[in-house]
Amino acid sequence: MKITDIKVRSFSHMSRQNNDSDGHSHPCDPRQVRQSMLTIVTDDGTEGHCFAPSEVVRPHLINGFARDVLLGEDPYDREKLWQGLAHWQRGGNGQLSDRTLAVVELALWDLTGRKLGILVYKLIGAYRNKVLAYGSTMCGDEVFGGLSSPEDYARYAEVLVKRGYKAIKLHTWMKPVSFAPDPRMDVKACAAVRVAVGADFPLMLDAYHGYSRSKALWLGLELQKLGYTWFEEMMNEASMSSYVWLAENLTMPIIGPETADGKFHTCAEWIKSGACDITRTGVRDIGGIGPSMKIIHLAGASGMNCEVHGSGPGNLTLCAAQKNGTWVERGLLHPFIEYDEVPEYLNAQADAMDADGYVHMPQIPGLGDDINFDYIDNNLV
């Protein structure tokens, strides 16, 4: 079997989210947005698919790099093909991101699963068929009744508990919110949510991402008193020594790295240096399922959990193939958005959650996306 083509279909669909000036998503009136689907085709007609933001699979990247590495090759040779793309990142003038690597690699996994009639998490080696989800909120805003105050967060936490969530992660206020960032406001929101959900309910905080060491330490000491489960990306992850310092000064678990460059190499340095107590990977952050499994195994070999960042079938696949992790991230959530609505380009939600807070693995060969091909072909842009 040889790869004969790589196609990108761009299509429009309805969205109720918009990004602020710093890239954080918030609710908005319904609007048409553009999305793409990358498809890898083989000489026997098998196809593998992966959705992506259009800029991640723009023609220059697919024609200039992906076709060069993949065409004529065996789609089962994922490690060879991934290494070929990763090598291009050095010589490609910084154009080829880990996100593009991830989309290509996920489409190769999807193709393999569809060809063999098996779910990818079973192909890797499944550990579980359902995963507990944590509800991951959007960043705070200044819209009354949204996520504009500690009371808003507390009310929404009660809604999420009723929906079935068995853990909640707050993203608090970040710029351009007028009063952000402010660790005192973070603590007020975290404390209000703790009161709302009770003493034993698992809670996490993903804070501003750019606090100084002293502000991060003050915030962490308050979170310890509130019994939070982990403390995430409160400082710039490029400064690993800041995380080593913070981990030495807190008893509560620090999780990371999530956005630092360097794939599994960076993660190995964090584990070795004691910069984190729980490590992190996500298919979009470090280039796919293969490199993520290296991190999951590295963490396991180091006696450490690895919690998966982000939603979607690729990340859910990781969660189902690991023992050393508890949750799948579900979101981002907001009181004004109905997250359980199925997007127009799918026939079923990829991470549907039951009333007990479990996301069950889909049962469609490949990564598990139930794709509405007719919708996509009728809404091409």
Interface with Mg ion (CB under 5 A): 206, 258
* Residue with smaller CB distance to Mg ion, 186 or 206: 206
Q: How far apart are CA 275 and CA 258, in angstroms?
A: 12
Is 378 exposed, middle or buried (CB count within 10 Å of its CB: 0-12, 13-18, 19+)? exposed
* Residue with smaller CB distance to Mg ion, 111 or 247: 247
- Looking only at the bridges linking them, the beta strands covering 203-206 and 358-360 are unpaired
For residue 205, list its beta bridge partners. Answer: 170, 231
Tell the smallest beta-carbon distance from residue 27 to Mg ion (Å). 19
* Residue with smaller CB distance to Mg ion, 281 or 324: 281
Tell the smallest beta-carbon distance from residue 282 to Mg ion (Å). 9
Q: How far apart are CA 303 and CA 320, in angstroms?
A: 19
> Using CA of residue 355, residue 232, residue 333, residue 154, what is the dihedral sign?
positive
* Residue with smaller CB distance to Mg ion, 206 or 369: 206
Tell the smallest beta-carbon distance from residue 305 to Mg ion (Å). 16
Q: How far apart are CA 170 and CA 157, in angstroms?
A: 9
Tell the smallest beta-carbon distance from residue 85 to Mg ion (Å). 25
Residue 271: both structure tokens together: 């584990």
* Residue with smaller CB distance to Mg ion, 258 or 277: 258
Q: Which of 218, 211, 265 is nearest to 233 (CA)?
A: 211
Tell the smallest beta-carbon distance from residue 42 to Mg ion (Å). 36
Tell the smallest beta-carbon distance from residue 232 to Mg ion (Å). 5
Do 219 and 190 touch, CB atoms closer than 8 A?
A: no
* Residue with smaller CB distance to Mg ion, 152 or 307: 307
Residue 67: both structure tokens together: 């076709």
Alpha helices by DSSP H, 250-324:
263-273, 283-286, 289-301, 313-320
In the complex, which residue's CB is closest to Mg ion? 206
